[in-house]
Amino acid sequence: MIVLITGASSGIGEAAAWRFAREPGTELVLVARREDRLRELAAKLPAPTTWLPVDLTEADAPQRVLAHVEEHHDRLDCLVNNAGAAWRGAFAEAGYENVHRTMELNFDAVLRLTEALLPLLRKSAPSSVVNVSSTAGRIGRGAAGAYSASKFALAGWTDAFHLEEAPNGVHVGLVLPGFIRTEGFPADELTGKLLTRWMVAEPDKAAEAIYEAGPGGSAERYVPRPYALAAVARVLLPGLTRRILGGGVGKMAMTKTGADAADRS
């Protein structure tokens, strides 16, 4: 199984690399900006691994990634679109420019890369694509509107893309992480309180969800799983959801970086 993971130099992407590397016969292609981190990770993984340092927002990035894959492999069984970032700010202050740069990485870059690799994924069918969205792709929070817009878009496109590609043997799954404990987000304030401890998950939990949404064939997975209830509440009880998000937990989330501030890697 040939697996390509973007944003692989840290956090969820690094954990996903370790998860897939445990599967017999897996070979990995790691994509991120930080070459030193990619080289170090590749040397540790128990699976044959190549890497490509690239900023996915660059105009030639999709073709560079495709060329790298074709140089080392004749197929691609799973694409994990994990790279992303968040730049916080209320719209009145951060404006359209913040929305634009967030969409460019979290949405546009995903579509451009997937478009370039789709012929290879179809050729390798049965294959899969996993798009890493966020719980913010179902529920918006103050000061994170640009991020939510990008992840809402990614979630909606994922649903449509799966329907389009299922006849071609390409499964498309969605992973929606909440707060994930990473080097940039130790989550001490949340984990230190019994009331909010459940809100935080480890990167390996997200990595397992990615595997389930890819080769495992699941449609979508929330991490932690109880976040799915919040998405349901947003649909059934929108007024109550707004009041909760405007309260203590919501205000705390507005001032923290969580899973939605993943390193661009």
Q: How many CB atoms lie within 10 A of CB 195?
A: 9
The C-alpha angle 22, 130, 66, rounded to 5 degrees, equals 90
Q: Render pLDDT for 205-215 as a digit per residue (tens, 0 to 9).
A: 999 999 999 99
Q: What whole-number distance in Å separates Cα of residue 188 and Cα of residue 262?
A: 17
Residues 6+ apart with CB under 8 A from 111: 157
Residue spans of the domains in the chain: they are: 2-261
Closest CA to 28 of 52, 5, 53, 60: 5
pTM: 0.90
* Residue whose pair of structure tokens reads 């970032």 in the numeric block: 85
Handedness of CA 72, 213, 151, 161 (dihedral sign): positive
Domain 2-261 grouped into CATH 3.30.1310.10: no
Cis ω for the linkage preceding 177 (within 30 of 0): no
Q: Render pLDDT for 42-56 as a digit per residue (tens, 0 to 9).
A: 999 999 999 999 999
Is the pLDDT reported for residue 125 higher than 90? yes
- pLDDT confidence bin for 17, thresholds 50/70/90: very high
Which residues are the active-site residues?
A: 147
